[in-house]
Structure 1
Amino acid sequence: MNRIDLEGRTAVITGGARGIGLATAERVIASGGSVVIWDVDGAAIEAAVAELGDRATGRPVELTDAAAVEEAARAAGRIDILVNNAGITGGNGKTWELSPEIWRKTVEVNLVAPFLTSRAVVPLMLANGYGRIVNVASIAGKEGNPNASHYSASKAGLIGLTKSLGKELAGTGILVNCITPAAARTAIFDQMSQEHINYMLSKIPLARFVEPAEVAAMIVWLASEDCSFSTGAVFDISGGRAVY
């Protein structure tokens, strides 16, 4: 494993108790940094922190609650890196068959929550003159997966948020980028139909799902000082599905 230098940096990782978030936490610590996990699942946070060791802490946070997010940001102290990773699929269904409630919830978790975390953390980064924000979008946000309009729209929105925020913060020392991975075989697959899983795999030229550790490597590079001239950008990690 190549060592990316995050010595002395502190990263807040949403949804960091499992899957891509946990893999990212592991890579941050291997790179010399510390992590603060924000997740709704307190038991999963405890298990993750026990696994990660003494450079990891965690806090249960309802990421769609502005007051809860602001309180967590104040409690975290210095935040050098924010990884907006938490997300849900909202299940599968044709647009006209999805309930308004699940549509709204998916957008709240996948798009409104990253807005709220960025809103709370950016002022802290501005005060320090440094920061890296990495948003975990999806290939679905580029291409629009059938039977997942709520998920696709939320991730397209996250790409748009990344571009706007990156431009607003240009020249401040804070860089904002996002990644668009293909699906990784994590617990989020439990929210999808097998038909949809098969559809996603059929679209990947490399003919496999991405590994969480592969996504984590890209996130951690974007969170480092080595990433110095990219902001508001979209980095593809879709196994050849999208090359733009």
Structure 2
Amino acid sequence: MTSLSITESSIPDLTGKTAVITGGARGIGLGAVQVLLDHNARVFVLDVLPIADDVAASKVTFIQTDTSSWLSLVDAFTAITTEHGSKIDIAIANAGVWNDPYLEDCLTPAPTDAAGWSALKDNKPATEACVEVNLKGTMNFVILASKVMKTQEKGGSIVVTSSSTAYFAEQQMPVYTATKAALVGLVSALRSTLPLHKIAISAVCPSAVETAMIPTMFIEALKGLGLPIATTRHVGLALVYSATATQNRRVEDYGKDKPVPEDFEERWNGRVIHAIGEEYWEVEEKLAETRGVWWGEKNLKLTEKQRVVSDLREV
């Protein structure tokens, strides 16, 4: 991984810029909102929960939104672009939920008779919210943000809040882990195409963060062991950095891509920042560089040739 130095001075003045963030009323989302406000952005917060009064009094427009609902998201984007007549420079898909009883469901013994099996038809696993909010809601948000940015002369930047569990699976949260890993896959899949339309996409993967989402006993256990815990401001800074930074090289070339020129510069794109404790690390470029080690050199060459065949972009 590559260490990053991200400070308040890393964020440019955002006067005249508009940001939309889901799950911005609490936790990591609120941390990002505060960073955006401190750097003079106009902010739309989409959340099922109301925002605090002191935040509401600032340059924030709150739109009550259920990100698991396509209709609710469309209504929110309609309000932003038509009622408020706003562009969208920065879109942060941050909303997420933690509830994940999947392992418990897996280990609950099967019924012993037909009546018991029949009863299961009305007893669906309680993991749907995790998939609907973390994965489907985020994917739908990316669609809508991309549609808006596609119409803008300068495009825009999309950032997704994933999790360190995308790379280090958490045994107690299989579905949460799966949704967060899927989000990293989404960013990886879109990073070679969206820039052709002036749109960048990236992600931030926090490790433990002190929020109401994480049980207090877990936070206290980490503190007791002296293990790092990030603040919501720390992760929020990474989210805003991802939406405003630039890069002078791609994470990797894809398919028919030609090597970039020496003076290459584009929005921060296709990258994932791991935020842990007080540190930041970019992880995707190193993974791309070492593919031959963990995928196998022969397999890598064959896969790269397959990518060329399937690359339908006009580059």
Range into which the TM-score falls when normalised by the shorter chain: 0.7 to 0.9
Q: CA deviation at 1:241?
A: 11
2:28 to 17, 20, 30: 20
* CA deviation vs aligned residue, 1:5-49 (integer Å, no higher than 9, x gap): 2221111110000111111111001112111000012xx32x25x
Q: Equivalents in 1 of 2:21, 2:151: separation in Å?
A: 20
CA contact (8 A) 2:243 2:268 kept: no
Max Rg structure: 2
Distance 1:63 1:87, change over 3 A: same
CA contact (8 A) 2:24 2:94 kept: yes
Q: Tell me whether 1:30 sits opposite 2:9 in the alignment.
A: no
Q: Tell me whether 1:111 sits opposite 2:135 in the alignment.
A: yes
- For 1:137, the equivalent position in structure 2 comes to 162
Q: How many residues end up aligned between the 2 structures? A: 234
Q: Equivalents in 2 of 1:53, 1:237: separation in Å?
A: 29
Q: Equivalents in 1 of 2:157, 2:20: separation in Å?
A: 11
- For 2:268, the equivalent position in structure 1 comes to 230
Q: Equivalents in 2 of 1:229, 1:141: separation in Å?
A: 23
What is the correspondence of 1:188-203 to structure 2 with a 5 Å cutoff? Answer: 188-189=213-214, 192=215, 194=217, 201=222
* CA deviation vs aligned residue, 1:84-103 (integer Å, no higher than 9, x gap): 11101114562614885322
Q: Equivalents in 2 of 1:241, 1:57: separation in Å?
A: 30
* CA deviation vs aligned residue, 1:37-91 (integer Å, no higher than 9, x gap): 00012xx32x25x425331111111111112111211211211111111101114
1:173 to 171, 179, 198: 198
CA contact (8 A) 1:92 1:193 kept: no
Q: Equivalents in 1 of 2:124, 2:236: separation in Å?
A: 33
CA contact (8 A) 1:90 1:150 kept: no
* CA deviation vs aligned residue, 1:188-221 (integer Å, no higher than 9, x gap): 02xx483x5578x39x9x7221111111111111
Letter in 2 for 1:210: A
Query: Percent identity between the aligned chains?
Result: 26
For structure 2, the residue ranges without an aligned partner over 5 or more in a row are: 1-7, 82-86, 109-122, 248-265, 284-315
Deviation >6 Å, runs of 4+: 240-243
* CA deviation vs aligned residue, 1:93-127 (integer Å, no higher than 9, x gap): 62614885322220111010011111112111010
Q: Equivalents in 2 of 1:80, 1:161: separation in Å?
A: 20
1:82 to 73, 91, 94: 91
- For 1:71, the equivalent position in structure 2 comes to 75
Q: Tell me whether 1:120 sits opposite 2:144 in the alignment.
A: yes
Q: CA deviation at 1:180?
A: 0.7
Determine which structure has the larger helix proportion and give its number: 1
Q: Equivalents in 2 of 1:243, 1:218: separation in Å?
A: 11
For structure 1, the residue ranges without an aligned partner over 5 or more in a row are: none
Q: Equivalents in 2 of 1:222, 1:241: separation in Å?
A: 12
TM-score, normalised with respect to structure 2: 0.67
Q: Equivalents in 2 of 1:112, 1:158: separation in Å?
A: 10
1:62 to 61, 66, 82: 66
TM-score, normalised with respect to structure 1: 0.86
Q: Equivalents in 1 of 2:282, 2:35: separation in Å?
A: 26
Letter in 1 for 2:96: G
- For 2:5, the equivalent position in structure 1 comes to none
Distance 1:157 1:100, change over 3 A: farther
